[in-house]
Structure 1
Amino acid sequence: MRAIPRTFSRTFLRCSLPLAACVAATSSWSAEVIKIGEINSYKAQPAFLEPYRKGMELAVEQVNQAGGIAGKKLELVIRDDNASPGDAVRAAEELYTREKIDVLTGSFLSHVGLALTDYAKQKQRFFLASETLTDKVVWAEGNPYTFRLRASTYMQVAMLVPEAAKLQKKRWAIVYPNYEYGQSAAATFKKLMKERQPDIEFVAEQAPPLGKVDAGSVVQALADSKPDAIFNVLFAADLGKFVREGNTRGLFKGREVVGLLTAEPEYLDPLKKEAPVGWTATGYPWYSIKTPEHEAFLKAYQARFKDYPRLGTIVGYNAIRSIAAGLRKTGGSADTDRLVAAFKGLEVETPFGRITYRAQDHQSTMGAYIGKTAYDQKLGRGVLVNYHYADGKDYQPSDEEVKKLRPASAQ
């Protein structure tokens, strides 16, 4: 390969994420950069992760344009994990041994995130789990080296439960993807709803394999149970199939639905006119958030990409912002012990406001927007209305509960 002059530097070589992997590299000398290795399920979950990648790009560019970290530029090296825990671990090792990365981040699917969490523990390397929602990352399988950015499964379900309880519905049905995230969401919803509403009944559960929902049979089984309300945990293509089939068969008519992740633009926008109306859901109303920090982010993102952000964009952007904030505290050092110490109690300014990484369980306080789904005729797609921002710090277990949930070795 022809040598690139040292004076020439750019943050990304754009690529289309081929089957083997996608590598983003710069021409800067390694001594002048801090390499961030990022592993994710780009091929398996493109709706979320393509906007996520753009969010990372914007954050890296902003950090570098502001002078970098202690005079060093940030550089991303990206790998696809093929939605496989084994491939994710192999990619992590290759990033360290061949690419000489300094910091590791990433993961979307819960089982992949858990594999990388264990890798961080075994190798004693810092890992920021950016998107994966499983509670185990910071609790049952938490370790001193792993931190998590996005609000966990427990936190997001806890945000929805007060709204679900207000509905005063007794007979509930639940549908969720049959892997760790879905199982955990269903279990948490049942537990927290029982605490608020002891006479509640769960009359049906449907747990199709992730990405392989037989929407017709799932919808029919739920309808046969005659629930008063439905708790939906399906997302991505599974959500689309479920909504379309449910609309066709009248499953949602006269029934309340509470949806985890349902109103995220990645999943709601593709439904267009078929978007559900009146569901209580978590989402991201980028089109109407008027806080100064979000408006500044939105302006920069639209100027850079000529597109609107999705929830994945926020997660990718916040992941890089978090790593940059941690590196500033260490004076630019990516030493594991120093970075771990820096992240305990770390405060980060984000488009959702300031978040903090809790020292007691390494979970950030990033929250989520909760509201009702509606159809916007002008936009031609579903939106989130009557929403409020649920601050993550208000939906986490107490310190005493965390001590019981988290292994002693991770304290």
Structure 2
Amino acid sequence: MSTSSSPLTAAHIEGPVRIGALVPLTRPGWVEAGRHLLAGLELAARDVNDAGGIGGRPLELVVRDTAADPGKAAAAVEELAQQGVVAVAGEYHSVVARAVADRADALGVPFLCSSAVLDALTEQPTQWVARLAPPQSDGWRVYADFLLGTGHSRIVVATQPSVYWASGVDVLGDHLTPRGGTVIELDTGGLAPAAVCDALVDHRATALLLLVGHPEPAVSLVRSVRRDRRLDEILIGAPAGQPEFATWADLLGVDGAGIPFLRYLPERLGPLGTRVEAALRARLVEAPSFVAFEGYDTVTVLAEALRSHGADRARVAESWPRVAVDGTRGRIRFSRRNGVSVWQSLGAPIQVADRDPASPDRFRVRHAA
């Protein structure tokens, strides 16, 4: 599927500047996150074209559905590279983004990752890949601090097999254990929700973290815990952000409130963020998630790189440490980080938020860094 943003009046003598946009639009991908990410990407492309494009050339997004499939995503990078895109952008799922990053690095195609947070996005340091979202270790350490600050030190994590979930368990354990916390991993593969509840009681847990897929088994686990009177005082948490999206509230109602999650928004949006928020809300017909803002900022960064350094793959990759542009959530710059193999955006805002039990459509900020 290809989508072209609003056309320019300038002649298309040189043709459009094409960027590959990778998003999960079908199951088993997180479709709602993909829809928000694409809305942000497309809105920013429209705004770039309304402002004159890239040196008078229109910016065109060439969209491919990854469906949360690493193999499909890597094949899409191959196809897009053959079609002459100057860069690829997007993706939400960390395991998929890692496959994209590896293929982009091998082919010499710049990849600006919008949302995936896995620290080791590539096996070796690369000049071709940059990322907007903060590394998982940053966000999940903030989440661990929130847990300790609210009196939760005996933590059970309900997990499924995944590099992303395993990395999250490691971050939590490394941060909580030296501070007196205990992290107990519970593989949900062979456990019914009722058995998970029994294990929480047996382990005397004060918090359950859902490191599992959405909607299932996450929704069933929440319902089971909420209905178990033995667990009235337990905190349910979802650091990966499942409660951010409207489907969570639709499926769980008030049961889905009061479940803290990570999101990447500042305390207050500036003028650009406020304008973009209104435009995204109109496009999505619902409140935009932080993922939609990440999509918008992704195209904003690439447009700045293309205008300043030219529509050439090598020059785009060389521009990462030189880019400085205002995004919807603050100034965006990139640098190298210890333990992070790609060019990393600096100072991305991190919040722990939840849905207000008194009004599940409203969010509360519980902690910020």
Cα 1:305–1:165 change in 2 (3 A) is: closer
User: Which has the larger displacement, 361-370 or 25-34?
Assistant: 25-34
The residue type equivalent to 1:42 in the other structure is L
* Aligned residue in 2 for 1:173: 156
- How do residues 3-402 of structure 1 correspond to structure 2 at under 5 angstroms? 22-25=1-4, 29=12, 31-43=14-26, 44-97=29-82, 99-137=83-121, 140-195=123-178, 197=179, 199-202=180-183, 204-208=184-188, 214-234=192-212, 236-238=214-216, 239-250=218-229, 252-260=231-239, 261-266=241-246, 268-271=248-251, 273-283=253-263, 289=268, 291-330=270-309, 333-360=310-337, 361-365=342-346, 366-377=348-359, 381-387=360-366, 389-390=368-369
Q: Tell me the secondary structure at the aligned position of residue 14 of structure 2.
A: helix
Cα 1:376–1:291 change in 2 (3 A) is: farther
Q: How many residues align?
A: 356
Q: Give the TM-score of the pair, scaled to structure 2.
A: 0.86
Q: How big is the shift at 1:248?
A: 2.2
**8 A contact 1:235–1:267 mirrored in 2:** no
Q: Tell me the secondary structure at the aligned position of residue 288 of structure 2.
A: coil
Gaps of 5+ in 2: none
The residue type equivalent to 2:345 in the other structure is S
Q: Tell me the secondary structure at the aligned position of residue 136 of structure 1.
A: coil
Q: Give the TM-score of the pair, scaled to structure 1.
A: 0.78
Q: How big is the shift at 1:262?
A: 4.3
Q: How big is the shift at 1:309?
A: 1.1
CA shift digits 1:179-207 (9 cap, x unpaired)? 11111111101101123x1x3223x3123
Gaps of 5+ in 1: 1-21, 391-411
For 2:332 and 2:84, how far apart are their aligned partners in 1?
30
For 2:61 and 2:230, how far apart are their aligned partners in 1?
45
- Structure 1 residue runs of 4 or more that deviate by more than 6 Å after TM superposition: none
CA shift digits 1:37-75 (9 cap, x unpaired)? 122321121111112111111111111001112111110
For 1:345 and 1:223, how far apart are their aligned partners in 2?
53
Cα 1:293–1:376 change in 2 (3 A) is: farther
Q: Percent identity?
A: 21
User: Which has the larger displacement, 63-72 or 308-317?
Assistant: 308-317
Q: How big is the shift at 1:82?
A: 3.2
The residue type equivalent to 2:40 in the other structure is G
For 2:74 and 2:13, how far apart are their aligned partners in 1?
23
For 1:105 and 1:383, how far apart are their aligned partners in 2?
31
RMSD: 2.8
Cα 1:247–1:158 change in 2 (3 A) is: same
Q: Tell me the secondary structure at the aligned position of residue 79 of structure 1.
A: strand
CA shift digits 1:208-240 (9 cap, x unpaired)? 46xx99544434433432212233334531332
CA shift digits 1:54-111 (9 cap, x unpaired)? 11111111110011121111101111123222221111111122x3212111222222
For 2:171 and 2:96, how far apart are their aligned partners in 1?
21
**8 A contact 1:160–1:258 mirrored in 2:** no
For 2:219 and 2:324, how far apart are their aligned partners in 1?
37
CA shift digits 1:273-306 (9 cap, x unpaired)? 23444444324789x9454333222222234454
Q: How big is the shift at 1:31?
A: 2.1
